[in-house]
Chain A
Amino acid sequence: MTATDLPFPGLTGVPTRGDDELLTGKDFTSDQEVRWCPGCGDYAVLKAVQGFLPDLGLRRENIVFVSGIGCSSRFPYYLDTYGMHSIHGRAPAIATGIATTREDLSVWVVTGDGDALSIGGNHLIHAMRRNVNMTILLFNNRIYGLTKGQYSPTSEPGKVTKSTPVGSVDHPFNPVSLALGAEATFVARTVDSDRKHLTSVLEAAAAHRGTSLVEIYQNCPIFNDNAFEAIKNPDTKADAIIPLVHGELIRFGVDGAKGIARDETTGGVRVTSGDDPGVLVHDAHADDPTTAFALSRLTDAGVLHQSPIGIFRQVERATYDDDARQQLVTAEQGEGDPQEALAALISGPDTWTVV
């Protein structure tokens, strides 16, 4: 299987392996010792990514992982691809330079809630509005891990941490709402512990041409353990996870007892009974992001009891890097020797000669 066999427009231009060049997850594993805390959700995501990368059909040398700063940003060291562990919050900017100049690379950004949404918030939203061809994995553990336990821009209000001994008074970001507000063309949410769902979302994200934003709920066992208890506990997850599957009714709860319908009074959406004829069919391909945004608002801002999981939005739009490269191709067409052209350029139209 190669990338071109799949409907993977996101990888158009990236060379693929020959059918006889088999690679496994082991081939994408570097020789570096993984140094996350025992029980960290990052291990599960790393395993899923290492397991999934061979399926892209790409050569290792054509894959680049760029990260910022934080626990999750150590990710590139553990993958035997090209990689850069950069500085806090700037990975989307660095990846923009890589993606714009190199159509033949599959570019990935690994970031966390502090890295992407706090110090790097600006770069994140601008990458998404430009729709630069990259896949952003946003590990959201709702806490600062590497700096040892301060609240993050996704922590719930009132959170007691080292830096907020009497509770945080910050209102959190909803990363999916933020991405949709920035008009990202691919926005999804998944969970570290659900490898099957995680892999299917990563596949769709890689297939997408443009910026794909994947929020991954990721547990930090040291500083914010059980932050996602509601959606991981077998007893509560049916009521907590609102699965979004394109073309299917949005129903959840035990035996699909609950559903999501339009709220006529607010224009948003509301929870209704599963057999309500008004239950919405999820349309991730809708050009208008309004409903996707409404669905994103079903996520609790406080302690998590309920959250939609899946692909919120998946639409086509011209990408910055394709268009920028096309401008170069157009300008270069039919032009001759660069040194001759340079001589003409620097002389300009108004010269005089001294003999």
Chain B
Amino acid sequence: MSKQVQQLDRVIIRFAGDSGDGMQLTGDRFTSSSAAFGNDLSTLPNFPAEIRAPQGTLPGVSSFQVHFADHDILTPGDAPDVLVAMNPAGLKANLPDMRAGSTLIVDSHDFTGRNLTKAGYAENPLEDDSLADWALTPLDLTGMTVEAVKEFGLSRKDAARAKNMFALGLLTWMYGRPTETTIEFLEKRFAKNPAIRDANVTAFNAGWAFGETTEAFAVRYEIKPAPMAAGTYRNITGNLALAYGVVAAGVQSGLPVFLGTYPITPASDILHELSKHKRFGVTTFQAEDEIAGIGAALGASYAGSLGVTSTSGPGVALKSETIGLGVMTELPLLVIDVQRGGPSTGLPTKTEQADLLQAMFGRNGESPVPVVAPQSPGDCFDAALEAARIAVTYRTPVMLLSDGMLANGSEPWRVPEIADLPVIDPAFATGMNHTTTGKDGAEVDDFWPYLRDPDTLARPWAVPGTPGLEHRIGGLEKGDGHGNIAYDPANHDFMVRTRQAKIDRIAESLPPLEVDDPSGEAKVLVLGWGSTYGPIGAAARRVRRTGLDVAQVHLRHLNPFPNDLGDILKRYDAVLVPEMNLGQLSMLLRAKYLVDAVGYNHVRGLPLKAAELAEAITDLITTTTGAEPVVEEVSS
């Protein structure tokens, strides 16, 4: 039976089920085959903090959203076109995000008495007509899976567990994805257990064949590959790209990398990944706590490594004192904060951008620290290298602010050429740098650990083992130049200002900001930082398609701000600052530039929605300039 093929330019699919149903794996494999096919894509995993929340309940629902297209896309999408729900709770939890008319593919197997009750359904929604507004296809995915794999002699429970692969096979057929990548993956993953391996491959193939033969689906879809800049691509998550960026920083600086850390969601995958790369001279130390993690990292930096620590907001709180010590001792240190919902333990598996002010000010005393943020999963690689460059060049702790959405989300990433990566020069001190006149009038060469480079204001990094440069550093105030303990008031005032001046001077090494204003006529600027890049870009495109002008600038450097930011802000009549917090960047901009920044703030633990943000931008344009949309926004 040959089916009709319909062309689409983009699709958003959400796989949802119990946290034990393998939804993350299913989504990940669908993403891989879409990447291999050449679509542009963006993903959003969403899972509970509990490893196995009570089965079949709403809190136990895990989902994975993938947006793939034949053109350049920026976000995982606001609302799915297709929901694949593996149980009643998966349907119930995700239905509010589904537009009328969108597709629901539901495993009907568990829509029975107790399972319905656990999900909070009084009646079976597959039978009571309550889903009439959607294109509903109930299928007994579990039953068909068990039937397909019965030859392998698995228990019923193990057989049923392959249902996610049946669903994946069906969707793979429906959207014309290649099957080889998934089959190869399954064969490798379950190589040690042939029965499980064969059951999964068989379920996957059975799902594909079911699509081909069933009358339930009359149409399959085609989404052509997206045109992309020439190069070699791979799919990558933010945490993986960030870990690779740290490895690259070690290679490009010639420094051994030492990661001192403590497991914490959503940063732990950085530890897991870096622990595999000892071949690059990367040491990973799983410390007894967050404080020991950063302490050991700072010790390693003192001893001549690139010290790195990785954590999330609660861990940053514990590390604050050691970051302060890093500021005082002026040693390179990379502090990675993969932000999550707060305060306190907050929402461990959800995303937020509310640690900006903590990164800026969360220490005692005047304790300036550079802050760098990646804007997309792949960009975590470049941001890590940039953070390492600043840390090493300026001898300072640097905060690298990723977030949960970047960490677990993925996108196609053009693999950079190594020759194009920046080279980082540790410029270790090797000899005396100062001459002292002794009591007898004779001149003696010595080493002053706080004698600064006139350009960068960085102090020399003299590593233990270097003869003649023995010196002592610590958290007490340093005398200018010689670095001995100094309590005098003028010296403290000078050192406080000098430490600030050193951080401010980093701005001189930054490239000009890129202003995206295609018409050059925009009166409203949207300014963001971090993972909101995608939603802001998508929203700006929507607004422009309606005939309005809007400019977009995205900040990688939050401290210091780039030197041209002030002038750029002055060029616009209004500035909108979308953030997943209550206005932290707005506060900094207002304080520094006296600009009347307008906030757009959501803290729902989820990325900003492009459509809603587009409305906010349009409203601000209308209020500011009187201009109204010329054409209606069309979807996509």
B35, A66: Cβ atoms closer than 8 Å? no
Instruction: List the one stretch of B295-303, B391-399, B622-630 in contact with chain A.
Output: B295-303
A269 CB, nearest partner CB in chain B, Å: 32
A292 CB, nearest partner CB in chain B, Å: 24
B279, A335: Cβ atoms closer than 8 Å? yes
Nearest opposing residue in chain B for A123, CB measure? B292
One of A101, A123, A335, A346 near B304 (C-beta < 8 A): A101
A324-B285, A328-B278, A338-B251 known; A350-B36 Cβ under 8 A: yes
A328, B281: Cβ atoms closer than 8 Å? yes
> Which 3 pairs, one residue from A and one from B, show the smallest C-beta to C-beta distance?
A85-B474, A97-B299, A93-B295
A76-B472, A94-B302, A350-B181 known; A100-B285 Cβ under 8 A: yes
Set of chain A residues within 8 Å of B467, measured between Cβ atoms? 59-61
Q: Can you list 23 residue pairs at the A/B interface with Cβ under 8 Å?
A: A62-B464, A69-B475, A82-B470, A82-B472, A86-B325, A86-B474, A87-B475, A93-B260, A93-B292, A96-B292, A97-B296, A97-B297, A97-B301, A97-B303, A122-B288, A324-B285, A327-B278, A335-B279, A339-B418, A350-B35, A351-B234, A352-B234, A354-B38
Nearest opposing residue in chain A for B298, CB measure? A94
Q: Give complex CA distance A30, B485 in Å.
A: 13
A77, B485: Cβ atoms closer than 8 Å? yes
A339-355, CB < 8 A from B = 339-343, 345-348, 350-355
Nearest opposing residue in chain B for A346, CB measure? B244
Q: Give complex CA distance A62, B463 in Å.
A: 10
A129 CB, nearest partner CB in chain B, Å: 9
The tally of residues in A whose CB lies under 8 Å from a CB in B reads: 61
Q: Is B381 interfacial (CB-CB < 8 Å)?
A: yes
Interface string of B242-256 (1 = CB under 8 A from A): 001001100100001
Q: Give complex CA distance A252, B289 in Å.
A: 43
B231, A353: Cβ atoms closer than 8 Å? yes
One of A82, A87, A347 near B234 (C-beta < 8 A): A347
One of B236, B260, B278, B329 near A97 (C-beta < 8 A): B260
B230, A355: Cβ atoms closer than 8 Å? yes
Interface string of A122-140 (1 = CB under 8 A from B): 1100100000000000000
Q: Give complex CA distance A60, B467 in Å.
A: 8
Q: Is A53 interfacial (CB-CB < 8 Å)?
A: no
B179 CB, nearest partner CB in chain A, Å: 15
Q: Give complex CA distance A96, B296 in Å.
A: 6
Interface string of B217-249 (1 = CB under 8 A from A): 000000000011111111110000000100110
Q: Is B465 interfacial (CB-CB < 8 Å)?
A: yes
Nearest opposing residue in chain A for B235, CB measure? A350
Q: Is B322 interfacial (CB-CB < 8 Å)?
A: yes
Set of chain A residues within 8 Å of B232, measured between Cβ atoms? 347, 351-353
Interface string of B539-576 (1 = CB under 8 A from A): 00000000000000000000000000000000000000
**A60, A90, A122, A341 — which one has the most chain B CB atoms within 10 A of its CB?**
A90
B238 CB, nearest partner CB in chain A, Å: 14
**A92, A95, A97, A335 — which one has the most chain B CB atoms within 10 A of its CB?**
A97
A310-343, CB < 8 A from B = 324, 327-328, 330-332, 335, 338-343
A328, B283: Cβ atoms closer than 8 Å? yes
Q: Give complex CA distance A87, B329 in Å.
A: 11
One of A60, A87, A105, A352 near B470 (C-beta < 8 A): A60
B281, A98: Cβ atoms closer than 8 Å? no
One of A59, A81, A100 near B258 (C-beta < 8 A): A100
